[in-house]
């Protein structure tokens, strides 16, 4: 991921320096378990533990010859070990994927914890925002067309709960990727005791894979990327709502616009929804990683490395992008400007057409057939669309022509937008308990 979208902590987690720190940690845990079992001399553990991780430059230089990153790492680390002979027992009984997959599990769980922390914070902000605007009456839209009254808090509640479900998926995906395998070539434990794997998993705070070949099958990693993609797409849902609400014709919402900020190089009046548009673009990127990562599930026999090149790019990029998206979505939610007056103006702009559904049901309850009531209401509504005459007036005229009596008091009751707020009370009770 380019530096522009990489936050410091997530950048550190996926840095080469941290990768080699984790590789060293895994190798030391394996070596310590071997020493405790008497497989290797006990006095080799501390020299290896005290050897500083190799630099990325040192590993890269050796890899130019070996064309194998794990061997290059082991050689560069051995150069840092005193006495060097202690390094002879490093990687004992292991194959490359034992190190790579186990270290990847550590890194992915660290990255997940960073993202989960940001998700918790954003969900809390959206919960409070939704409750604040529980009574902010606005027009609901279907197909982009005015439908019935709604509230802005209701829409926010929907997104908050979707993000909470997305968080639950990511928590489950953390378990799916938090799996280690220390089982040797082909995964048969031919040169390493299964108890070593169990001990290492326990010391790393992870779980041991119930079975592996030479690699851990990539269903768990695919689940993790898919979970990130869902988080990204729910964030895009929030962004899309803001983008629509900030349109000049709508003007119900507006992104925070700081002092000195510029909207356009050519048009000084512009305030553009740039945060929301950035969220939409990055969501596309994260979704794009789902297929190539899933294609790493079927590999040739016990192992090939066609998944490796994909994961080196896709996994850091997906995590870094979602981490950044949560960062800017939090800024968006915290500073979002809600224009209640404009919401009311838009609500009233159709002359009362937003109440046709309620009026239809009222006429049915008053004794009309649904077919006749629908025809009456639709006819009045089309007249309002075409002439701009308020719906209440066209409805009275249509009812008079049809020989029907309209109960004005009942009409007042069903055309009161406040009743929509009252009906949503259970939603906001549930939202209040969201954490």
Strand 137-142 relative to strand 253-254, pairing? unpaired
Using the 8-state DSSP alphabet, how is residue 141 labeled?
E
With a CB cutoff of 8 Å and minimum separation 6, the contacts of 238 are 126, 159, 276, 279, 329, 332, 333
The alpha carbon dihedral of 277, 282, 283, 285 has a sign of positive
Query: How many C-beta atoms lie closer than 10 Å to residue 358's C-beta?
Result: 19
Identify whether 190 is a catalytic site residue.
no
Cβ 229 vs Cβ 71: under 8 Å = no
Among 190, 264, 306, 309, the one annotated catalytic: 264
Residue 377 near residue 363, CB atoms below 8 Å:
yes
Residue 255 burial (CB < 10 Å; 0-12/13-18/19+)? buried
CB 311 within 8 A of CB 14: no
Which residues lie closer than 8 Å to 130 by C-beta, 6 or more apart?
A: 153, 154, 156, 157, 160, 428, 431
345's tokens: 């103006």
The Cα 196–Cα 36 span in angstroms is 10
Return the closest-CA partner of residue 348 out of 146, 144, 135, 134: 146
369 as an active site residue: the answer is no
> Omega into 329 within 30° of 0, i.e. cis?
no
* 174-195 as b/e: b if 16+ CB within 10 A: bebbbbbbbbbbebebeebbee
Torsion of CA 319, 217, 106, 311, to 10 degrees: -40
Q: List, as one string, the DSSP characters of 261-306.
A: --S-SS-TT----HHHHHHHHHHHHHHHTHHHHHTTSS-STT--SH
Cβ–Cβ < 8 Å for 269, 249: no
Whole-angstrom distance, CA of residue 94 vs CA of residue 105: 17
Give me the active site residues, please. Answer: 143, 264
């Amino acid at each position: 991921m380019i530096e522009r979208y990489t936050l410091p902590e997530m950048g550190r987690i996926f840095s080469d320096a941290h990768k080699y720190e984790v590789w060293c940690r895994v190798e030391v845990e394996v070596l310590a378990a071997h020493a405790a079992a008497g497989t290797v001399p006990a006095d080799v553990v501390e020299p290896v533990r005290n050897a500083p991780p190799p630099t990325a430059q040192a590993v890269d230089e050796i890899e130019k010859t070996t064309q194998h990153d794990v061997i290059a790492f082991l050689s560069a680390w051995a150069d840092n070990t005193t006495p060097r002979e202690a390094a002879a027992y490093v990687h004992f009984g292991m194959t490359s994927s034992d190190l790579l997959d186990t270290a990847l599990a550590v890194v992915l769980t660290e990255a997940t914890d960073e993202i989960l922390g940001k998700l918790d914070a954003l969900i809390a902000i959206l919960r409070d925002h939704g409750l604040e605007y529980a009574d902010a009456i606005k027009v609901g839209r279907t197909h982009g067309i005015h439908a019935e009254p709604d509230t802005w808090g209701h829409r926010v509640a929907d997104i908050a709960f979707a993000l909470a479900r997305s968080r639950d998926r990511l928590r489950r995906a953390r378990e799916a990727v938090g799996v280690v395998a220390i089982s040797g070539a082909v995964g048969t434990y031919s040169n390493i005791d299964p108890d070593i794997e169990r001990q290492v998993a326990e010391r790393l705070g992870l779980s041991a894979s119930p079975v592996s070949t030479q690699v851990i099958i990539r269903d768990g990693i695919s689940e993790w990327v898919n979970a990130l993609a869902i988080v990204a797409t729910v964030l895009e849902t929030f962004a899309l709502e803001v983008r629509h609400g900030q349109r000049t014709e709508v003007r119900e919402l507006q992104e925070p616009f700081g002092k000195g900020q510029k909207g356009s190089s050519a048009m000084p009046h512009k305030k553009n929804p740039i945060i929301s548009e950035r969220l939409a673009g990055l969501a596309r990127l994260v979704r794009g990683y789902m297929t190539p990562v899933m294609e790493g599930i079927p590999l040739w026999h016990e192992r090939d490395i066609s998944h490796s090149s994909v994961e080196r790019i896709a996994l850091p990029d997906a995590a870094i992008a979602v981490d950044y998206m949560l960062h800017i979505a939090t800024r968006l939610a915290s500073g979002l400007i809600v224009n209640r007056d404009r919401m009311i103006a838009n609500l009233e702009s159709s002359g009362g057409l937003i109440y046709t559904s309620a009026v239809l049901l009222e006429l049915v309850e008053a004794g009309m057939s649904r077919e006749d009531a629908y025809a009456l209401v639709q006819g009045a509504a089309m007249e309002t669309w075409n002439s701009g005459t308020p719906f209440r007036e066209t409805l009275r005229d249509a009812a008079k022509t049809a020989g029907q009596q309209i109960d004005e008091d009942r009409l007042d009751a069903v055309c009161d937008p406040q009743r929509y707020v009252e009906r949503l009370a259970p939603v906001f009770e549930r939202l209040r308990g969201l954490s």
